[in-house]
Structures are given as structure tokens and as C-alpha cells.
Amino acid sequence: MLPLTLLMMLGAAFQATFQQGGDQTPFFAGTFGIGMPIVLGVQWFASVAKWQFADPRARLMPGYTWPHILVIFTVLTIFLVVNPLLQAFCMGISPLGPLAYSLLLGGLFLYAIHLNRGLLALPMLIVFFSGMYPESSRIWFSGADNFQAYHVAGIFLGAAMFGWWLLKLAALHEEDEAYFVLPLGTPGSMSRLERVLQGRLQGRKASREGFWKNSSDRWHNRLVTFSESPNSAALFEYGWGQFSFLTQAISAGIGIALYGIFLGTVFHELHSKNSENPGNLFVYAVAFALPAIGAMVFLRTRRVRMASELLRPASRTAYFAGLFGSLAKWTLYAWLSMSVGLWVVLMTGQRTMEGSFTQ
């Protein structure tokens, strides 16, 4: 992850250096120079950092907290402060805009990761996408003076969020709601104990009461009066997650549609607006595969329970047939909802966006 992120940052800086004032420069800076490194690199690093503190040793080991915080602060400062300054230098513009974009996006991202609340991701996405569209990216990367006040406000707000996150991390304890937000860690390096602890954290997070958790009761209470045969395909729709099968598939489909829109935007910007733009085809081609990939990721989360599920009264063949059958159904629902979502946005975008997205 880190090498890819560094490659993107350096590539964007290189592009900016040799194409100062070019049409594509703000897009490259916003997307590959600052936006994507935050999405990929900061997200990964912040999740690993979270793991360092969602752990009893953080509170029990002497001299643990502040050296870790210092390392985290140093690495994230490189991403959130040094990198945008570099991009600004290469573009030959005032550093205020790129710095504001970076700190605001980074701060919102850290906040969203820490609490894992879907609604918090919305302002983050707005800021993120604003760095990619021609009109909005000028706010951050044109170097114009009329946005300076906004830039300064963005810098202060982003820096405050960054600082807040570091302090919350240093004081993290088990009664914090954020403690249960799953830290991702690096699977290959986790010890068996860390995987067990992570599994328990996941369990406690998944079981916190609230509207969403209680709504899953309606779905699971059906099991009490389940009357179909033991090998019924319907039984395999349970055990994937707390929400109903259909809800999960549709949510995934809509999420993929949003991701597809982002890819379409990227592709649209990479090609001349006057030539035939296969952007929508590209979006659809990539998005088409994502429900299936999502299903495989879904399968991976079920692996830990397979040892007990394999011993239920079904042959190995029947078990996997049921499992993959429900995954195929999930993929189909996700694909359908993704297609509907993409179609709606593409049709709307055709009428409102400059340089028709579908032309």
C-alpha cells in the first residue's frame, strides 16, 4: 500500500512540475497527488495505528503511548502537510489551497475511520470529489486569492480534527464506543492472539444495541419458527451479517455504484472530452466485476465459522453448493441495485454535467 501511495504522490508531483498551469494538473494533484494517497495510505496507516491502541498493552505498558503517538504524528504529517506543500511547489501555486484540501480531507477521513459512521463519510466524500471536478478543484488548486479565507478555515478545521484524533487515540479505552470500531491491522503480521482479540472486538461491535441492531432482530427472529427443510437455500442466507440478506446486497450494490461513479469521473478526466468517451463502458466493466469480488470478500469473513458449519448435517458438496448459491444470489441482487444506481446517476449526469459524461 505504501509504495503505491508514494508512487502516486511522486507521479503527481512530477506531472505538476512539467505541466504547470495545464488543464489536467489540478485533477492529477487532487486525485493522485493528495486524494488517493489519503484514501489508500492514510486509511491503511490510521487503521494500523488504531490497532496499536485498541489493545490492553496500550494502557498497561509503561512508556507506550507517547512514542507511538509521535511516530503516528510524524508519518501522518508527511501525508497531510509535507505532501500538499510539495504538490503546491511543483504546481507553482500558493500552498494554502492544497494544504487546506489535504488537512480537511485527512481530518474528515481520520474521523470517519475512527468512528466508522456512514454519515461522517459524506462530508469526506464531498471534499474528496471536489478535488476532481474541474470547477470545484479550482477552489483548492488554482492559487487564486479569493479563496484564501476558506483555505485558512479549512487548514484550522483539518488540523483540529487531526489533533483531536491523536488525543482520542492516546486516551482510547474499552468503554469508548470507538474502541469497537474494527481496526484493520495487517493480516499477515497478526499473531493468533491478535486475531482472537480482533474477532472479539468485531463481535462486541456487531452486537451493540441501536436501531440497526434491533432491526436485524426481525430478520433473525424468523429462525425461531423456521419450518423449511434443513438443506433449504433460505438457511444459507443467514450467517453473513447482522442485516437481512437483501439489505446487505442492495447496500453493497449502491456502494459499488458510487465507486463506479468515481471511476467514471477519473476516466472521463483522463480522456479528451471531444473524443468518444468510453467512460461509461469502463465504469460498467469495472463495476460489473465488483459485486462478484465483494461476494468473495464476504466469503472470507465467513471462513472462521466454517469449521462448525461444515459439521452440520449436509455433505461437503451440499454445504458449499448452498453457500455459493447464496453468494450468487447476493451477487445478482448487488449487481441489479448497482446497475439501477449507475443508470440513474448517468442519466442525471448527462443532463447536468459539463462535457457530457456519457458522450
Partner 1 sequence: MIEINQLEKHFDGKQVLRGVDLEIAPGTVLGLLGQNGCGKTTLIKCALGLLRPTGGSATVLGDDAWHLSADTKARLGYVPQEVVSYPWMRVRQVIAYTAAFYPNWNGPFVDELCRRWRLPLEDRVGPLSVGQLQTLGIVLALGHEPELLVLDEPVASLDPSARRRFLRTLLEIIDQPNRTVLFSTHITSDLERVASRVAILREGRIVFHGELDSLKERVKRLHIASRQELPRSFSVPGALRCEVEGTAATVSVGDFDDRLVDEMQTTWDAEVTVHDLNLEEIFVEMHRGNSEFGLRSSE
Instruction: Return residues touching partner 1 (CB under 8 A).
Output: 196, 199-200, 202-207, 213, 216-217, 220-221, 223-224, 226, 228, 230-231, 235, 238-239, 241-242, 304-305, 307-308, 310-316, 318
Residue nearer to partner 1 on the CB measure, 148 or 301: 301
Q: Which distant-in-sequence residues (6+ apart) come within 8 Å of 162 by Cβ?
A: 76, 80, 103, 106, 107, 110
Q: Quote the Cα angle for 176-177-181, to 5°.
A: 115
Rounded least distance, CB 77 to partner 1, Å: 36
Residue nearer to partner 1 on the CB measure, 170 or 235: 235
Q: Which distant-in-sequence residues (6+ apart) come within 8 Å of 27 by Cβ?
A: 132, 134, 137, 269
Give the DSSP per-residue string, 135-153: HHHHHHHS--GGGHHHHHH
| Amino acid occupying residue 161 | M
Residue nearer to partner 1 on the CB measure, 77 or 232: 232
Rounded least distance, CB 189 to partner 1, Å: 16
The two counts, helices (H) then strands (E), for the chain are: 17, 0
Residue nearer to partner 1 on the CB measure, 300 or 312: 312
Task: Give the C-alpha distances (Å, rounded to integers) separating 1 from 33, 101, 356.
Answer: 15, 22, 34
Rounded least distance, CB 193 to partner 1, Å: 11
Rounded least distance, CB 207 to partner 1, Å: 3
Say if CB 288 and CB 297 are below 8 A apart. no
Rounded least distance, CB 315 to partner 1, Å: 5
Rounded least distance, CB 313 to partner 1, Å: 4
Say if CB 173 and CB 179 are below 8 A apart. yes
Residue nearer to partner 1 on the CB measure, 55 or 237: 237
Rounded least distance, CB 52 to partner 1, Å: 23
Tell me which residue has cell 454519515.
119
With left for phi above 0 and alpha for psi between -120 and 50, is residue 322 left, alpha or beta? alpha
Residue nearer to partner 1 on the CB measure, 138 or 309: 309
* Phi, psi angle pair for 271, to nearest 5°: -110, 155
Residue nearer to partner 1 on the CB measure, 67 or 210: 210
